Amino acid sequence: EGYRVALAADGLQALERLQQERPAVVLSDIEMPRMDGFDLARNIRADEKLAGLPIVMITSRIAEKHREHAKQLGVDHYLGKPYSEEELLRLVRLFAVAQPAEVA
């Protein structure tokens, strides 16, 4: 689709990468080693430079309690598995376009 994608093995590595480069949107699972998606979202929202970064959580945990917890943490969209590729791409386009240009 023409997007440049940066991968991280878990939430801790994602946080490290986010200090080096700010993407247009973060796609995260909940279940990850070392730091789960909830903790990743909490850390992103607590960081002044990253706080406005859109977060889309993609997970098999579709219970309302997980969805509500993600919402309380500031997750922008909660996408349950299985999901359609079209829906994911629509969300990426939506959040990528909404990002303001960074000023150097």
Whether 43 is in a domain gets the answer yes
At 27, which CATH number?
Answer: 3.40.50.2300
DSSP tag of 100: P
Structural domain that includes position 58:
11-98
pLDDT at 11: 95
Whether 104 is in a domain gets the answer no
Whether 32 is in a domain gets the answer yes
How many distinct structural domains can be found in the chain?
1
Whether 31 is in a domain gets the answer yes
State the Cα–Cα distance between residues 30 and 66, nearest whole angstrom. Answer: 9
> Residue 2: left (phi > 0), alpha (psi -120 to 50), or beta?
left
Whether 3 is in a domain gets the answer no
Whether 66 is in a domain gets the answer yes
pLDDT at 62: 87
Whether 6 is in a domain gets the answer no
pLDDT at 104: 37
Give the CA dihedral 24, 31, 59, 81, nearest 10 degrees. 130
Whether 2 is in a domain gets the answer no
- Tens of pLDDT along the chain (104 residues) come to 888 899 999 999 999 999 999 999 999 999 999 999 999 999 999 999 999 999 999 999 989 999 999 999 999 999 999 999 999 999 999 998 865 544 43
